[in-house]
Amino acid sequence: MNARSLTEDQYDSAVSLWTATGLTRPWNDPMDDLLRAMSGATSTVLGCSLDGDLVATAMVGHDGHRGWVYYLAVAPDRQESGLGRMMMEASEQWLIERGAVKVQLMIRTNNSPVIGFYDHLGYELSDVQVRAKWLNADDAANTDSAAR
């Protein structure tokens, strides 16, 4: 099994996987995120397929120093199989090859199983705050307070 950048014919499958694993939010179009990542010079979406089915993804990108991982997803029937670890290793390798020295990610604070997963992989809680500002008033109006 290898993680490779998605091909265009896998885009819909990636969004379906993200929806099935609870990563999407109504105010954020995941296809827009995917298209931005796939068209950027410093980002991609890696995927792993088994028997022709996309079973894992990770969106990865960097700013020249820090790397970021988003949309790490493993098909529900394949979770706890090592695919999540493999996708993180592939993401880290992708970043190393491009000169990133650090990788960061965001986890919703109420997602204890995912926090435990990243703890097990050696990810530490950073002494930083993530702040956000909606640049489109419609986006802010369509979110619940927990997502802000």
Question: What is the overall mean pLDDT for the chain?
Answer: 92
Gyration radius (Cα) of the chain, Å? 15
Asked if residue 130 is part of any domain, the answer here is no
pLDDT in tens, 69-106: 999 999 999 999 999 999 999 999 999 999 999 999 99
Residue 147 has pLDDT above 60, yes or no: no
Asked if residue 111 is part of any domain, the answer here is no
In this prediction the pTM is 0.89
Share of the chain above pLDDT 90, in %: 80
Asked if residue 47 is part of any domain, the answer here is yes
Range of the domain at 48: 4-106
Residue 58: CATH number of its domain: 3.40.630.30
- Looking only at the bridges linking them, the beta strands covering 102-105 and 4-5 are unpaired
| pLDDT bucket at 134, cuts 50 / 70 / 90 | confident
E strands within the chain? 4-5, 43-50, 53-62, 66-74, 102-105
Asked if residue 20 is part of any domain, the answer here is yes
Asked if residue 127 is part of any domain, the answer here is no
Query: Number of folded domains in the chain?
Result: 1
pLDDT for 145: 47
Asked if residue 98 is part of any domain, the answer here is yes
Residue 107 has pLDDT above 60, yes or no: yes
Q: Report the distance separating Cα 63 and Cα 60, nearest Å.
A: 11
Tell me the backbone φ, ψ of residue 33, rounded to 5 degrees: -60, -45
Q: Which two tokens stand for residue 94?
A: 């992708």
Asked if residue 53 is part of any domain, the answer here is yes
Asked if residue 102 is part of any domain, the answer here is yes
pLDDT in tens, 113-132: 999 999 999 999 999 888 98
